[in-house]
Structure 1
């Protein structure tokens, strides 16, 4: 049985490990400084961290992080009614099992009128997940240093 719930303090390190394992499996092993930035982000007061825990195995198998949407591409003040999904990651052994959708549903329960996110343009699996959950491209894109690009998606309602 999979339990999807808001993370407690004891869930944050297992959530971080899911994030790390998924990035490594996709060939994007994070540097130690990046791991520390994500660890701090998971602990921020406005963070909505959700975990999916396999009760039978006693392990965290997926995680997600959302936060209030902010003006000025995240640098400005919070925008009422807006949320931003910063990350949704599933343990590689569980890819394709529908866990990402469960995590997104739990994040959407925050009830924002508009939710945005950014994803790599090359990550077809993530794009399918987000499109299935009602996200649509906004037309905004940006390049990453490694040559890949990212695109912004939004969900209304």
Structure 2
């Protein structure tokens, strides 16, 4: 990827920075739609969760977008292989970019690194129309399936597949 941003594979020593980035992206994306105790729990639990994910090669693949000049993390994507009977062989388990880096091509680059053009599925927040349009441009479509994530304050997610 040309320009001020670069995509690379996440490393175990990225765990703390990834945890902080994850919470920042959630705060930007969902703002007041998620109760503060959920963010507090995420801040407490995320560093250990990211450390486990990054140390286990079978837990999926994680990519980070970095600012070339500073090395600061600007976004991430994560894909996981699914089991037998799942809708698609890959789950895009997360893709977030800090708002100040929107429109720079980082989201597309992170998506490409995570799942390429493989058949995959994802869950996107019901009210996140920007993300839904992004995924539609990448060939994903809504299935009509909806789930509510009580552990995240009742956020409703919609399934998209390609």
Structure 1 length-normalised TM: 0.79
Q: Is the 8 A contact 1:69 1:115 kept in 2?
A: no
Distance 1:148 1:40 in 2: 21
- 1:57 positional shift: 2.5
Give structure 2 stretches of 5+ with no counterpart: none
Distance 2:142 2:92 in 1: 14
What is residue 7 of structure 1 aligned with on the other side? 10
Q: Is the 8 A contact 2:78 2:95 kept in 1?
A: yes
Structure 2 length-normalised TM: 0.77
What is residue 123 of structure 2 aligned with on the other side? 118
- 1:132 positional shift: 1.2
Give structure 1 stretches of 5+ with no counterpart: 74-78
Cα RMSD for the two superposed structures:
2.5
Distance 1:62 1:39 in 2: 19
Could you give the per-residue CA deviations for residues 96-116 of structure 1, whole angstroms, max 9, x where no partner exists?
32211110011124x64x211
Q: Is the 8 A contact 1:21 1:92 kept in 2?
A: no
Q: Is the 8 A contact 1:49 1:66 kept in 2?
A: yes
